[in-house]
Amino acid sequence: MVDHHSLPQPVVSKRIKDLVESLLPNKIHWVPAEIDTDKEVYHYFIMIPPEINCLDYEKSKLHLQADGQIFEVQEMVLDPEKLKTYSYGDRGIFRFTAGITYYLIEEQIASAIQLLNPLGVRFIPLADWNFKTAFH
């Protein structure tokens, strides 16, 4: 059993949940996920409350629809000034929607999760991310 499933909503193992809870107490809402297996396993949906609109629209490469809505983010650049308006706890793990929903994880938290050697988890530094990354 892997430690992470991504669709339709992120689901993580109890060990990742426990670690994130220790780093970001009371910031993430967890909902038990029932997974039909032969073994008793504990996984949790991550219900990430803060949605932070921190995309730098000028520096990012965006594909827009005719109505101006974002269809696709080809290269993502975050606006550091927008991020500064949120506490570390609120931006430790957050989401934003730009065509689709993206989940962003602060580097310190991602590093701590990687120390668990989790199965099925991959972190991509934002500087290396582009719209084709999921297929590599």
Confidence class for position 15, pLDDT limits 50, 70, 90: very high
pLDDT in tens, 28-63: 999 998 877 777 778 898 887 668 889 999 999 998
Cis before residue 8, ω within 30 degrees of 0?
yes
pLDDT at position 120, please? Answer: 87
Confidence class for position 2, pLDDT limits 50, 70, 90: low
Contact assessment for residue 79 and residue 54, using Cβ atoms and an 8 Å cutoff? yes
pLDDT in tens, 63-77: 888 998 888 888 999
| pTM reported for the whole predicted model | 0.82
Distance CA 4, CA 119 (A): 7
User: What's the whole-number average pLDDT of the chain?
Assistant: 86
- Residue with more model confidence, 101 or 18: 18
Indicate if the pLDDT at residue 115 is higher than 70: yes
Q: Kindly state the percentage of the chain with pLDDT values over 70.
A: 90
Distance CA 17, CA 28 (A): 9
List the beta strands (DSSP E) in the chain.
Answer: 4-5, 11-13, 29-33, 43-47, 61-64, 70-75, 93-98, 100-105
Integer distance in angstroms from the first to the last C-alpha of the chain? Answer: 22
What's the whole-number mean pLDDT along residues 106-118?
A: 96
